[in-house]
Structure 1
Amino acid sequence: MRSGTDVRTLGVVGTGAIGVSWVVLGLEHGLGVVAWDPAGGAEERLREQVAVRLGDGPADGLRFADGLEEVAAHADLVLESGPERLDVKREIFAALDAAAPPDVLLTSSSSGLMPSTFQDACTRHPERVLVAHPFNPPHLVPLVEVVGGSATSPEAVDAALETLHHLGKRPIHIRREVPGHVANRLQAALWREAYHLVDQGIVSVADIDTAIADGPGLRWSLLGPFATQHLSGGPGGLGHVLEHLGPPMVDWWDDLGHPELTGDLIEKLVDGVDEELDGTSAEDLVARRDQALRRLLEIKTDLGLG
């Protein structure tokens, strides 16, 4: 299975937000990239977005393919970022499997679909199919969740982990398939309570964002929830926290909400975000976010926290 330094060309299928970022990651690491998206005007949009993200960086290693088969035939690793629809995934992976050499990993960026639900569409080599779920934007955020399906070989998982490490990522191996993988399930748990608190009129959308971005989110970005909780226990660490604060936390669990995503709640959330951003353009916010991410990652590396 091709991995690590053997991967010289990335194949990117789907050039939306995630696909563009995969392309940028490959180019920043000096790799060739062959990309494809069936949407009209996709190549022009891709090159515009790559230029914005790379600035003066080299983009001459990017080639836009005529179809899936061309991507599969020329890539050492395929990163699929198409629509989050099972029927589309099955169609894409069947075509990739038919065209790609047998030692080329076929990975999906799916945020929640389990690989076993689409790898059986690959009749030649289902063992090289897995999920490599990044976090947006993948060229900056280090996390990638690697999830094998029922037919995925250990060699394919190892090759994915090695290659992602080589590309500067911090992959984690999800050892059992669950819908939403791990990080999205953690986010969903927080979102559920956030939606409930807004729905009940306890707090505003803007205040929820402040509560996380200027509170625990700052600490979680450095150490994560378990290490952060351990430090809050003083000399006794996590054991002290769980012994003394665990019972009240269980009471909080029992009181957490179970909101329904009704039209009224959706309207509250959307209106709340609009009010919070107050006309700030998404493009401006993304640019400043990405700049801050780069600085934060540099600080974490300098301090041995990344």
Structure 2
Amino acid sequence: MNGRAVNVAIVGTGVIGAGWATHFLAQGFAVTATDPADGAEARLREWIDGNWPAVERLGLADGASRQNLTFTADVGAAVRHADFIQESGPERLDIKHALIANIEAAAKADAIIASSSSGLSVSEMQAGARHPERIVLGHPFNPSHIIPLVEVGGGRLTAPDNVAKAMAFYAATGKKPIRIDKEVKGHIANRLQVALWQEAISLVQRGVASVEAIDAAIAYGPGLRWALLGPFLNLHASGGSGGVTHLLQHLGPAQREWAKDLGTYPASDDYIETIAKGVDAELAPYDFPEMLRQRDELLIQLLDAKRNLSQIP
């Protein structure tokens, strides 16, 4: 593909699939989307229209146009001429297997099939496939038309060259692909999120702080630094002249003690009502759709700023 593809197929047009469709259209590709749900085409076009101002702000490639979208309910027709196929179906292994079988029945033998799966392993998804060597993970982050991260990896039967091709393709479209070297449930970023959510829920359950206070602790504290540098580089920056080595030697004993006191994920759903009430209370003074619109605007401003800083990874 030489880092780019001409024809992209989107299989599954929910929120993630719609974000992918927006992104690839903004990159100037011809996109064919498919989804069997009633009203899927109308919803997809509405979502793309809603997403378009954001990608315009991020910058459109030559030839970018919403008119380059074709929709069909026929999976075979959608993938027949595709060079790159982004599968974003429901997070169920039986559905993934059925989708991959339908895709492979019509797709070109060298077309890469990338799954947006947030937790399933590629090895599980490629079981029984006719060409398992071209099935890869291409897991985005929501909103996927704005957030650059894509987690890329292969399964036991994936050809390493196809993982490399997927990495190059995503990078050429302006994404920030990271390679997963070993399959693990939930991949990388979701596992890091779950670790934080686990402790956040525990702190609420233990009466340490409110939902609102915990959100503020991240949004006005480490979250601001995490948006610029990752956890290890932030540790290094906190260590002064001794860097991460000094920091871990200095705080390591205390952190080990804190780690022993961390909560575990609740064994039942009893906690959900408490968290939901806390979220409702936090949102009471605000217009949530407008909050999300402003969030996306700030994300775009941040990405614009980061692009202009040569020493920010």
TM-score of Structure 1 vs Structure 2, range by shorter chain: over 0.9
> What's 2:204 paired with?
198
In the alignment, the residues of structure 2 paired with residue 46 and residue 172 of structure 1 have an alpha-carbon distance, to the nearest angstrom, of 28
Does the aligned pair in 2 maintain the 1:34–1:64 contact within 8 Å? yes
Report the Cα distance in structure 2 between the residues aligned to 1:169 and 1:280, rounded to whole angstroms. Answer: 32
Per the TM alignment, residue 282 of structure 1 is displaced from its structure 2 partner at its CA by 4.2
The number of equivalent residue pairs is 303
SS in 1 for 2:152: strand
Matched, 1:269 2:275: yes
- State the partner residue of 2:230: 224
Supply the distance in 2 between the matched residues of 1:285 and 1:99 (Cα, whole angstroms): 43
Contact 1:98 1:122 in 2 (8 A): no
CA distance in 1, matches of 2:27, 2:271: 43
Against the structure 1 CA distance between its residues 249 and 36, is the aligned structure 2 distance closer, same or farther, given a 3 Å change threshold?
same
Per the alignment, residue 48 of structure 1 pairs with 46
Structure 1 gap segments, 5+ residues each = none
Task: Give me the whole-angstrom Cα distance separating, in 1, the residues matched to 2:77 and 2:278.
Answer: 45
**Residues 1-306 of structure 1: matches in 2 within 5 Å?**
2-5=1-4, 7-55=5-53, 58-123=65-130, 125-278=131-284, 280-304=286-310, 305-306=312-313
**Conserved? CA contact 2:32–2:79, under 8 Å:** no
Deviates more, 1:194-203 or 1:270-279: 270-279
Whole-angstrom distance in 1 between the partners of 2:133 and 2:99: 16
Contact 2:51 2:145 in 1 (8 A): no
SS at match of 1:106: strand
1:281, CA displacement in angstroms? 4.5
Single out whichever of 275-284 and 83-92 deviates more from structure 2.
275-284
When normalised by structure 2's length, the TM-score is 0.94
Give the superposition deviation at 1:262.
3.0
- Alpha-carbon distance, 1:280 to partner: 3.9
* Secondary structure at 1:78 match in 2: strand
Q: Distance in 1 between matches of 2:253 and 2:109?
A: 53
Equivalent pairs: percent with the same residue?
47
Measured after TM superposition, the shift of residue 98 of structure 1 is 1.8
What's the CA shift string for 1:123-153, capped at 9, x where partnerless? 2x11000111011112211111001000000
- Contact 1:34/1:74, CA 8 A, preserved across alignment: no
Q: Secondary structure at the match of 1:34?
A: strand
Q: CA contact under 8 A between 2:119 and 2:186: conserved in structure 1?
A: yes
Letter in 1 for 2:167: L
Moved more, 211-220 or 271-280: 271-280
| Cα distance in 2 between the residues matched to 1:286 and 1:93 | 34
Structure 1 partner of 2:61: none
**Unpaired stretches in structure 2, ≥5 consecutive residues:** 57-63
Q: Describe the superposition over 1:145-192 as per-residue Cα deviations: whole angstroms up to 9, x where unpaired.
A: 001000000111011000001010111110110000111111111111
1-side partners of 2:166 and 2:65: how far apart?
25
Which amino acid is 1:175 matched to? D
Is the contact between residue 149 and residue 176 of structure 2 (CA under 8 Å) also seen in structure 1? Answer: yes
CA deviations over 1:61-112 (Å, ceiling 9, x no partner): 0010231111210211111111111111111011112211011000100001
Root-mean-square deviation (CA, aligned residues, Å) is 1.4
Structure 1 window deviating more from structure 2 (233-242 vs 283-292): it is: 283-292
- Per the normalisation by structure 1, the TM-score is 0.96
- Bigger drift between 114-123 and 253-262 goes to 253-262
How far 1:14 moved relative to its partner? Answer: 1.0
Structure 1 contact 8–31 (Cα < 8 Å) conserved: yes
8 Å CA contact 1:11, 1:77 repeated in 2: yes
